[in-house]
């Protein structure tokens, strides 16, 4: 059975109160996931170059296009204007009750993406002799939205103040793993003692190591 991409709308940022949904008449041919990182650049006193330092990761976004066809060639839509308006009500229009656009989930196959609509462009591409629009292309971009609980959980899972366990991957050194967890490779000696390691340089891939809280 063909699975259609569905946009489910919620009125609250924690995705508890569903208020509607919209199902694509024709599935997108493709979609693109966009991930980006923000860097702070340290410039030296000369012009030899810059040092890029990690600052933050931007929310992921997904771009995709929907075609809506009211010519009768594809079943499901007889009122183009009404279908475009339904998309607008679900994904874009300001909701006065929660003083925001709706919070959305894109659901299609393995894709479940929590987001809000960041951009919508409606391009009409086919018309009847009377001038009535018969086909439209909805060009969209959705920006990732995380609930407060998800943000807090992620921050807690990455906190250097908690004990972590990691499995050693090939090519990883203890200082490098300490840099990833504590943001300081200097903790490697403490981690080695906590795990009873005889060597600080040779780590066997697949070994599970314990990284205690920083300063413990």
> CA 55, 57, 62: angle at the middle one, nearest 5?
155
Higher pLDDT, 168 or 154: 168
Confidence grade of residue 199 (pLDDT, cut at 50, 70, 90):
low
Query: Rounded to whole angstroms, how far apart are CA atoms 58 and 89?
Result: 27
Query: Rounded to whole angstroms, how far apart are CA atoms 154 and 151?
Result: 5
| pLDDT at res. 37 | 86
| pLDDT at res. 129 | 96
C-alpha pair distances (Å), 86 with each of 4, 74, 92, 107, 113: 16, 18, 10, 17, 20
Confidence grade of residue 181 (pLDDT, cut at 50, 70, 90):
confident
Q: What is the pLDDT of residues 93-149, one digit of tens each?
A: 998 888 899 999 999 999 999 999 999 999 999 999 999 999 999 999 999 998 767
Query: Rounded to whole angstroms, how far apart are CA atoms 80 and 51?
Result: 52
Calculate the average pLDDT of the chain. Answer: 86
Confidence grade of residue 42 (pLDDT, cut at 50, 70, 90):
low
Query: Rounded to whole angstroms, how far apart are CA atoms 139 and 87?
Result: 12
Give the distance, in angstroms, between the CA of residue 151 and the centroid of all CA atoms in the same chain: 12
Query: Rounded to whole angstroms, how far apart are CA atoms 90 and 140?
Result: 13
Q: Is residue 157 pLDDT above 60, yes or no?
A: no
- Give me the domains of the chain, ranges plus CATH numbers: 6-152 (2.40.30.200), 159-211 (3.10.350.10)
């Amino acid at each position: 059975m063909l699975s259609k991409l569905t946009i489910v709308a919620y009125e609250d940022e924690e995705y508890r109160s569903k208020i509607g949904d919209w199902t694509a008449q024709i599935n997108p041919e493709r979609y693109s996931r966009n991930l980006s990182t923000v860097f702070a650049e340290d410039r030296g006193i000369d012009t030899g170059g810059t040092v890029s330092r990690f600052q933050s990761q931007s929310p992921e976004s997904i771009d995709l296009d929907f075609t809506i066809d009211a010519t009768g060639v594809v079943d499901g839509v007889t009122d183009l204007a009404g279908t475009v308006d339904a998309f607008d009500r679900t994904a874009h229009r300001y909701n006065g009750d929660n003083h925001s656009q709706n919070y959305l989930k894109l659901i299609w196959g393995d894709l479940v993406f929590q987001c809000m609509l960041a951009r919508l462009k409606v391009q009409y591409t086919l018309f009847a002799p009377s001038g009535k629009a018969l086909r439209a292309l909805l060009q969209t971009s959705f920006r990732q939205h995380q609930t407060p609980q998800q943000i807090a959980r992620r921050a807690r899972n990455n906190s250097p103040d908690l004990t972590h366990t990691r499995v050693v991957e090939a090519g990883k050194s203890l200082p490098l793993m300490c840099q990833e967890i504590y943001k300081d490779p200097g903790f490697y000696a403490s981690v080695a003692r906590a795990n009873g390691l005889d060597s600080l340089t040779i780590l066997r891939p697949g070994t599970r190591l314990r990284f205690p809280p920083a300063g413990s």
